[in-house]
Amino acid sequence: MVRVPLSAVFLAAFFMPQPTTAQVMMTVPLVCLERGDLVDTLVTRHGERPVGRGVTDGGGLVERYESPGGRTWTWVLSTPGGLACVVAAGQGWQDRKSEAEGQRSEAGGDGEFMKARGVVPPRRLLRE
């Protein structure tokens, strides 16, 4: 029987090819639709409502939709051109209480919350 030092095994494993992030991401199906169609599907078929949103540095709109009690949730990224893609979905979302929650209610709504912080999202992305 041939004995191989354990360090040689670890060294060989280190140099074995690993999938890149892009290769791993390509195995996950990406669902993209016109924003209105995607929002309609989330609301009518899954009972989810928008509970948070923000604007990316690139001008995209990121939104979190959630069913009552956080039973199911979906993260959506919309482009300024109106295309929306589901980037994550799951079950059992839990929020952490934070100071931002109090600030959000003081600003009077998601659009006002963003404007109060100097972020003005493209108007057509906020239409539903």
Does residue 55 lie in a domain region? yes
Does residue 36 lie in a domain region? yes
Number of domains making up the chain: 1
The per-residue pLDDT for range 45-101, each reduced to its tens digit, is: 999 999 999 999 989 999 999 999 888 999 999 999 999 999 999 998 887 765 555
Does residue 90 lie in a domain region? yes
Q: Containing domain of residue 61, as a range? A: 27-94
Does residue 34 lie in a domain region? yes
Does residue 5 lie in a domain region? no
Does residue 125 lie in a domain region? no
CATH code assigned at 71:
2.20.25
The per-residue pLDDT for range 91-122, each reduced to its tens digit, is: 988 877 655 555 554 444 455 555 555 555 55
Q: What is the pTM of this model?
A: 0.56
Q: What is the mean pLDDT of the chain?
A: 73
Does residue 40 lie in a domain region? yes
Contacts of 59 (CB under 8 A, 6+ apart): 80, 122
Please state, for a pLDDT cut of 70, what percent of the chain lies above it: 53
pLDDT-derived band at 13 (thresholds 50, 70, 90) equals low
